[in-house]
Amino acid sequence: MTDQSLEHQLREEFNRWAEAGRGDEMETHHLPIVEPMLALIEFKPHDKVLEVGCGTGWLIRRMATLVSAGLAAGVDVSDAMVRRAEALSAQLLNVVFARGGADAIPWDSGFFTKVLSVESAYYWPDPARGLSEIFRVLSPGGSAWILINDSNKKARCCFRAPNPCLADFLYSDKMSRAVLWAKL
């Protein structure tokens, strides 16, 4: 199966999730594992942050207040999730969404100061390509944060930094979470 057909299957699956309202449940399910990660990230008002696999944009809306003079952006493979995110975020002036996959992030190289991904890396058709894209859109001195809750045992991605970087892999049995953090 090609990456393109995998992306099509993912888009259709997550479009069904969005239509069934499952995208709106993500904040409740993910917030307990996301809050400790957010506490580690040093947000600055002028940061430009991207979430890869943003769903309905709940995390983007939270980060928008932390980067009030910057930009909070989200990209998702699902058209329906992006439409829902746009509708829920219409009043926020520093928020933008785009449809796309981790393997082809629709922004210029070096644009973002921080890139996050929460519980989406194990859906990427080509994890190495996704990481390459994250590092491509990351500005010099920027940081990437990838969170995987491994309690579901789906976390089978092998992370290999495509660029020289400082990387830490943080793991907590109590939280049953893994965070890959990298800084260029």
- Amino acid code (one letter) for 146: I
- Position 142 in a domain: yes
* pLDDT tens for the 184 residues of the chain, in order: 565 676 666 666 665 666 766 656 665 666 677 888 888 899 999 999 999 999 999 999 999 999 999 999 999 988 888 999 999 999 999 999 999 999 999 999 999 999 999 988 877 888 888 999 999 999 999 999 988 775 544 333 333 333 333 333 333 333 333 445 444 4
Instruction: Name which of 84, 80, 120 is nearest 102 in CA terms.
Output: 120
3-state secondary structure of 59: helix
Strand (E) or helix (H) holding 132: helix 127-137
Residue 49 included in any domain: yes
**Domain assignment present for 8:** yes
Instruction: Let me know if residue 84 belongs to a domain.
Output: yes
Range of the domain at 56: 3-31+44-183
CATH code, domain with 138: 3.40.50.150
Domain count, the chain: 1
Residue 61 inside a domain? The answer is: yes
Residue 64 belongs to a domain: yes
Among candidates 184, 145, 3, which has minimal Cα distance to 77? Answer: 3
Inside any domain, residue 147: yes
